[in-house]
């Protein structure tokens, strides 16, 4: 290569480097503010998530979904008289927004927003949900649209640019979905008795005599009816198990005292008493709970501690003294005057009633100010009637006539043996013997009767 050509290449390279330096130096954005993550959907939210005081959700036609408010007792829903919110859903939404990172720019044209579900929620067909956060240094509001490949489409309310973020956000679109769903969870094994009293006076009573009894006993079953199955009432005992809610109203809005319906009382072996009053308004079924404690119930079914085995007591021989004592004890038992020490077979149990009392107070505080809409099948269990558990007893079949004799049996008439006092049946006369026929022997051949069997001449006829 000639020196001239080499010189030309060096000059061209130097000019290109100088031009690149000039182009970039004039457009440098400068250093980013300390601690700022430019790719975060809502900057600084991951460090200030606990500062959020209010979350507002709005859907199509600008209809409010829920206003979630953080208070001293946690999150509540303003639209539901400040009933507790589902803390799991609130946490999922806030952490999802805090972790959201911008992956890819999408359209900035309003006419194309519908393809991503990020159009303004004032429109009737808006599929997205607008989420606004308060309590941050800078309030934030984003529209959460459809799901995309690897994430969710979003758009800041005050920006035209839409984005694909890395997290999947699916905020609930119905107010009831933000309610704390857990209401009660009293397993059937704890229930000792249930009494359901209808407004018309009918009563259904189910009991267990001991903790070990596997099925409920239905009391006062009519004589002409029977249970559909042995454990038909066990589902009623599970009415309070894993009980959730569908909706709720404050008693100041809907007073249960102004309505009538069935009342179901559930009693546990530990003495917890839960009274559920049911009623209907405008084809919607409601239930109101009142919780209390019954210490006598707890003592009655308290578990007795295990006692050590004692050696067998030798039998006492019968003596006049022991026989007299046994007779005296038997006489007292017949007269109903048995001594307490004699009739009681085991010492009464003891129960620590404080946990039950505390549970009753906590439940009553949480439940007494509300009326609930619960799943239909749970409501049906709390309003069950005796008729729902019974079926008719099958009618007894009439006695059949005596069976006819089988073919081949001797059906000749044999007179029955005469009963005492009855006359003997008249037998038909034997056929007269022929004059030529020999006389039948009166004894078996070869049998000596001791009588003279020599033939005698016939007696002469009198002349």
DSSP 447-460: ---SS-----PPPP
CB of 129 closer than 8 Å to CB of 59: yes
Residue written as token pair 């619960």: 374
Residues 173 and 186 in one domain: no
Return contacts of 44-48, CB within 8 angstroms, 24+ apart. 44/136, 44/137, 45/94, 45/97, 45/98, 45/133, 45/136, 45/140, 46/98, 46/99, 48/136, 48/137
Phi, psi of 339 (to 5 degrees): -65, 150
Does 234 share its domain with 278?
Answer: yes
pLDDT tens sequence for the chain (463 residues): 566 655 566 555 665 655 544 443 333 333 334 333 459 999 999 999 999 999 999 999 999 999 999 999 999 999 999 999 999 999 999 999 999 999 999 999 999 999 999 999 999 999 999 999 999 999 999 999 999 999 999 999 999 999 999 999 999 999 999 999 999 999 999 999 999 999 999 999 999 999 999 999 999 999 999 999 999 999 999 999 999 999 999 999 999 999 999 999 999 999 999 999 999 999 999 999 999 999 999 999 987 655 454 444 445 554 444 444 444 444 444 444 444 333 333 345 566 899 999 999 999 999 999 999 999 999 999 999 999 999 988 765 555 555 555 555 554 444 555 444 454 444 444 444 444 444 444 444 444 444 444 444 444 444 3
**pLDDT for the residue numbered 303:** 76
Please say which residue of 360, 375, 392 terminates a domain. 392
373, 247 contact by CB (below 8 A): yes
Contact 351, 302 (CB under 8 A): yes
Q: Residue 386: CB partners within 8 Å, gap ≥ 6?
A: 202, 203, 204, 218, 220, 221
**Residues whose CB is less than 8 angstroms from the CB of residue 415 and which lie 6 or more positions away in sequence, other chains included:** 425
pTM over 0.75: no
Q: Is the CA virtual torsion 331, 337, 339, 344 positive or negative?
A: positive
Alpha-carbon gap, residue 126 to 157, rounded angstroms? 14
Residue bearing tokens 């309505």: 259
Instruction: Give the whole-angstrom CA distance, residue 240 versus residue 276.
Output: 10
- Domain contains 347: no
Same domain, 385 and 242: yes
Give the structural domain span for 81: 45-178
Cα(105)–Cα(198) distance, integer angstroms: 64
Determine contact, residues 54/67, Cβ cutoff 8 Å. Answer: yes
Are 168 and 207 in the same domain?
Answer: no
Give the end of a domain, one of 178, 195, 227: 178
Asked if 171 and 218 sit in the same domain, the reply is no
Beta bridge partners of 29: none
Distance CA 206, CA 384 (A): 11
| Same domain, residue pair 109 and 164 | yes
| CA atoms lying within 13 Å on the CB side of residue 257 | 5
Which pLDDT score is estimated for 15?
Answer: 55
Residue appearing with tokens 């038997």:
330
3-state secondary structure of 267: strand
Contacts of 372 (CB under 8 A, 6+ apart): 183, 245, 246, 247, 248, 286, 287, 288, 289
Same domain, 193 and 258: yes
At residue 284, what are phi and psi to the nearest 5 degrees?
-115, 130
Is residue 442 one of the residues assigned to a domain?
no
Flag whether 282 is in a domain.
yes
Give percent helix, percent strand, percent coil of the chain, each to the nearest 5. 25, 25, 50
Provide the domain count of the chain.
2
One domain for residues 54 and 173: yes
pLDDT at res. 452: 47
Q: Mark which of 178, 200, 232 sits at the end of a domain.
A: 178
Answer yes or no: are the C-beta atoms of 246 and 183 closer than 8 Å: no
Cα–Cα distance between 16 and 10 in angstroms, integer? 10
Assigned domain for 427 exists: no
Q: Is residue 99 part of a domain?
A: yes
- Domain membership of residue 58 (yes or no) is yes
Contacts of 76 (CB under 8 A, 6+ apart): 68, 69, 82, 83, 84, 85
SS3 237: helix
User: Does 430 fall in a domain?
Assistant: no
User: Distances in Å between the alpha carbon of 239 and those of 191, 212, 229, 380?
Assistant: 10, 19, 18, 9
Task: With CA atoms as reference, report the closest residue to 128 among 108, 99, 148.
Answer: 148
Q: Could you give the CA distance from residue 32 to residue 34 in angstroms, rounded to a whole number?
A: 6
Which residues of 256-335 form beta strands (DSSP E)?
263-268, 272-281, 284-293
Nearest CA to 228 out of 68, 85, 391, 67 is that of 391
- Does 293 share its domain with 380? yes
Same domain for 265 and 289?
yes
Q: Looking at the structure, tell me whether residues 83 and 147 fall in a common domain.
A: yes
Tell me the residue ranges of DSSP E strands in 202-331. 203-207, 217-218, 225-227, 243-244, 247-250, 263-268, 272-281, 284-293
Question: Do both 237 and 292 map to the same domain?
Answer: yes
pLDDT at 333: 43
Report if residue 438 sits inside a domain.
Answer: no
């Amino acid at each position: 290569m000639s020196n001239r050509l080499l010189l030309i290449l060096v000059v061209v390279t130097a000019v290109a480097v100088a031009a690149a330096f000039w182009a970039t130096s004039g457009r440098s954005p400068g250093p980013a503010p300390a601690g700022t993550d430019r790719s975060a959907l809502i900057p600084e939210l991951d460090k200030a998530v606990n500062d959020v005081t209010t979350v507002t959700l709005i859907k199509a036609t600008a209809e409010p979904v829920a206003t979630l408010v953080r208070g001293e007792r946690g999150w509540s829903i303003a639209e539901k008289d400040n009933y507790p919110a589902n803390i799991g859903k609130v946490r999922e939404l806030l952490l999802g927004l805090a972790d959201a990172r911008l992956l890819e720019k999408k359209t900035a044209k309003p006419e194309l927003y519908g393809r991503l579900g990020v159009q303004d929620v004032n429109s009737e067909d808006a599929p997205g949900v607008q989420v606004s956060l308060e309590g941050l240094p800078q309030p934030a509001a984003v529209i959460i649209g459809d799901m995309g490949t690897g994430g969710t489409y979003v758009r800041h309310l005050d920006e035209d640019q839409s984005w694909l973020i890395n997290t999947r956000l699916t905020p609930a679109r119905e107010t009831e979905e933000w309610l704390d769903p857990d209401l009660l969870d009293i397993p059937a094994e704890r229930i000792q008795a249930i009494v359901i009293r209808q407004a018309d006076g009918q009563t259904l009573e189910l009991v267990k005599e001991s903790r070990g009894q596997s099925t409920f006993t239905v009391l006062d079953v009519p004589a002409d009816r029977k249970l559909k199955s042995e454990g038909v009432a066990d589902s009623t005992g599970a009415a309070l198990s894993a009980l959730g809610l569908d909706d709720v109203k404050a008693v100041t809005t809907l007073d249960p005292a102004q309505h009538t319906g069935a009342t179901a009382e559930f009693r546990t072996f530990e003495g917890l008493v839960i009274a559920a009053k049911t009623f209907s308004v405008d084809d919607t079924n409601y239930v109101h709970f009142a919780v209390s404690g019954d210490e006598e119930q707890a003592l009655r079914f308290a578990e007795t501690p295990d006692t050590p085995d004692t050696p067998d007591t030798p039998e006492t021989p019968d003596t006049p003294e022991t026989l007299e004592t046994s007779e005296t004890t038997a006489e007292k038992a017949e007269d109903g005057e048995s001594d307490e020490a004699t009739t009681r077979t085991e010492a009464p149990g003891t129960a620590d009633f404080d946990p039950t009392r505390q549970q009753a107070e906590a439940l009553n505080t949480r439940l007494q100010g509300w009326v609930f809409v619960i799943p239909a099948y749970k409501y049906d269990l709390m309003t069950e009637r005796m008729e729902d558990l019974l079926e008719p007893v099958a009618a007894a079949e009439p006695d059949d006539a005596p069976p006819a004799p089988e073919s081949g049996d001797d059906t000749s008439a044999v007179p029955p043996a005469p009963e005492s006092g009855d006359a003997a049946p008249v037998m038909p006369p034997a056929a007269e013997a022929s004059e030529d026929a020999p006389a039948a022997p009166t004894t078996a051949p070869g049998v000596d009767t001791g009588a003279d069997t020599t033939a005698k001449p016939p007696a002469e006829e009198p002349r």
